[in-house]
């Protein structure tokens, strides 16, 4: 019996054309939803259902499985329930036995893994059949009538203080969870006993109009950067980088003679240059890759390079003692399974946004940028903001 996440993301959107692929802080709305789900240890698999080829390609890039949605279930009149029921049929046809279904909407860009875990745990603890994310609501509602507007849930002659009122919650639209069998029978997301999980105001934000996207950019610039600074160790003396998938996009071009070329980011190079100039933080590349391109790139960046490593733990711990830099003062960026043994040993283990799923789950911080496309620059700027000098 599995708990799976299903993310419906159709191609058509009249309010914001191409909405599900719009980016906030370098990550598409779809990517943010997939990553939130993939980070949960309670969710066994993530599926994206869509009629749009670009969305399906983005879903696969982010590590989700894809379900092609029929056109009749992707128009303006089709319900989310119809898309979920179709996806469940497809998943079960593949031999998966479902226990719970987590329904996630891309329109909540700041939904966190912790919110999903909290909702699933609330459903279990309360013995509920379904659940939803909510946020506290303190407004006074009014409804039109023949005699002007009338209060909803309060009296005209009594205005109690916020702390004196019974709690009321607003549905966020971010996430819902349902027992699979109950949902198939009810064909609606709410049935039986309903659990709830209260999220903060940022997690509750929904993207419906172009103005919402502008506001979300402002929130991301403030909220997500601040979170990155907050997780940094009190002292950082070294930044260690894997090569493939961190300084590159993990792809290689191979010519007819077998020679390889990789894609790197000039922005990452600038970030390293600024970090070395504005801080005393040492930068090294530690890589399993033996290709000469690693040494060539490190020479260009003027950073220490150790490649061909089968055992990164042994090498880094030995270097740590030799350099007199405690492991607790090291930030390490890795993206794949061979990086995982080093993660619990350093002060902060970091992953690019497109890292392999077990790496995302184990990382102490996930960057908003993918490998080879600004991830290293993002980390460098966080380090500069916290530890850099005023001279620039």
Contacts of 68 (CB under 8 A, 6+ apart): 49, 50, 51, 56
Residue 211 burial (C-beta neighbours within 10 Å; 0-12, 13-18, 19+): exposed
Query: What would the pLDDT profile of 16-62 be if each residue is shown by its tens digit?
Result: 888 999 988 778 899 999 989 998 889 999 999 999 999 999 999 88
Q: What is the pLDDT of residue 59?
A: 92
Q: What is the pLDDT of residue 380?
A: 97
**Is 56 in contact with 50 (CB distance < 8 Å)?**
yes
Q: Which of the 8 DSSP states describes residue 327? A: G
Sheet-wide strand order for 348-351: 304-306, 282-286, 238-241, 330-333, 348-351, 365-366
Q: What is the pLDDT of residue 254?
A: 81
* C-alpha dihedral, 186 to 191 to 192 to 194, nearest 10°: 160
> pLDDT-derived band of residue 229, with 50, 70 and 90 as boundaries?
confident
Contacts of 91 (CB under 8 A, 6+ apart): 4, 6, 47, 67, 98
Q: What is the pLDDT of residue 164?
A: 77
Gap between the Cα atoms of 72 and 200, Å rounded: 36
Mean pLDDT confidence for 254-272? 88
> pLDDT-derived band of residue 392, with 50, 70 and 90 as boundaries?
low
* C-alpha dihedral, 219 to 222 to 224 to 228, nearest 10°: 180
Is the pLDDT at 391 greater than 70, yes or no? no
Q: What is the pLDDT of residue 190?
A: 97
Tell me if residue 39 falls in helix, strand or coil. coil
Query: What would the pLDDT profile of 53-105 be if each residue is shown by its tens digit?
Result: 999 999 998 889 999 999 888 887 789 999 999 999 999 999 999 999 999 99
pLDDT winner (highest mean) among 17-26, 309-318, 361-370: 309-318
**In the chain, domain spans:** 2-225, 232-387
Higher pLDDT, 88 or 12: 88
The CATH number of 232-387 is 3.40.50.1000
Is the pLDDT at 15 greater than 80, yes or no? no
Q: What is the pLDDT of residue 221?
A: 75
Is the pLDDT at 379 greater than 70, yes or no? yes
Mean pLDDT confidence for 308-333? 95
Q: What is the mean pLDDT of the chain?
A: 91
Gap between the Cα atoms of 278 and 280, Å rounded: 7
Q: Which residue has the tokens 């504005």?
A: 278
Higher pLDDT, 357 or 336: 336
CATH architecture label of 2-225: Alpha-Beta Complex (3.90)
**Nearest in space to 91 (alpha carbons), one of 9, 176, 188, 6:** 6
Query: What would the pLDDT profile of 112-134 be if each residue is shown by its tens digit?
Result: 998 999 999 999 999 999 999 99
Query: What would the pLDDT profile of 148-205 be if each residue is shown by its tens digit?
Result: 999 888 888 888 887 777 888 999 999 999 999 999 999 999 999 999 999 988 778 9
**Which residues partner with 241 through β-bridges?**
285, 333
Q: What is the pLDDT of residue 226?
A: 64
Mean pLDDT confidence for 222-240? 84
2-225 and 232-387: same fold? no
Mean pLDDT confidence for 256-285? 92
The model carries a pTM of 0.64
Count of Cβ atoms closer than 10 Å to residue 114 Cβ: 14
């Amino acid at each position: 019996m599995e708990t799976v996440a299903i993310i419906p993301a159709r191609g058509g959107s009249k309010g914001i054309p191409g909405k599900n692929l719009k980016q906030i802080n370098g990550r598409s709305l779809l990517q943010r939803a997939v990553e939130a789900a993939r980070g949960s240890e309670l969710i066994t698999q993530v599926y994206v259902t869509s009629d749009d080829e670009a969305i399906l390609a983005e879903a696969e890039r982010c590590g989700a499985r894809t379900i092609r949605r029929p056109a009749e279930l992707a128009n303006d009149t089709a319900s989310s329930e119809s898309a979920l029921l179709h996806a469940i049929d497809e998943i079960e046809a593949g031999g998966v036995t479902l226990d719970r279904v987590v329904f996630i909407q891309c329109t909540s860009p700041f939904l966190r893994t912790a919110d999903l875990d909290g909702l699933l745990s609330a459903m279990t603890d309360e013995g509920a059949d379904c659940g939803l994310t909510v946020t506290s609501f303190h407004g006074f509602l009014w409804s039109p009538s023949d005699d002007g507007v009338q209060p909803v849930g309060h009296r005209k002659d009594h205005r109690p203080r916020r702390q004196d009122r019974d709690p009321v919650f607003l549905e966020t639209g971010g996430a819902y969870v349902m027992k699979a069998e109950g949902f198939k029978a009810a064909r609606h997301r709410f049935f039986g006993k309903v659990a709830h999980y209260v999220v903060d105001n940022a997690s509750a934000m929904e993207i419906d109009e172009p103005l919402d996207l502008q506001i979300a950019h402002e929130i991301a610039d403030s909220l997500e950067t601040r979170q990155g600074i907050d997780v940094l160790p009190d002292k950082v003396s070294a930044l260690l980088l894997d090569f493939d998938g961190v300084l590159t996009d993990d792809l290689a071009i191979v010519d007819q003679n077998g020679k390889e070329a990789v894609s790197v980011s000039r922005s990452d190079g600038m970030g390293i240059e600024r970090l070395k100039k504005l801080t005393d933080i040492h930068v090294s590349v530690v890589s399993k890759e033996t290709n000469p391109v690693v040494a060539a790139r490190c020479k260009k960046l003027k950073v220490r390079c150790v490649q061909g490593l089968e055992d990164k733990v042994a090498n880094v711990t030995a270097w740590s003692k030799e350099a007199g830099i405690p492991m607790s003062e090291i930030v390490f960026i890795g993206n794949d399974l061979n990086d995982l043994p080093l993660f619990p040993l350093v002060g902060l283990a970091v992953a690019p946004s497109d890292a392999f799923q077990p790496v995302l789950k184990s990382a102490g911080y996930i960057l908003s940028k993918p490998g080879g496309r600004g991830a290293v620059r993002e980390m460098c700027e966080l380090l500069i903001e916290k530890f850099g000098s005023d001279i620039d």
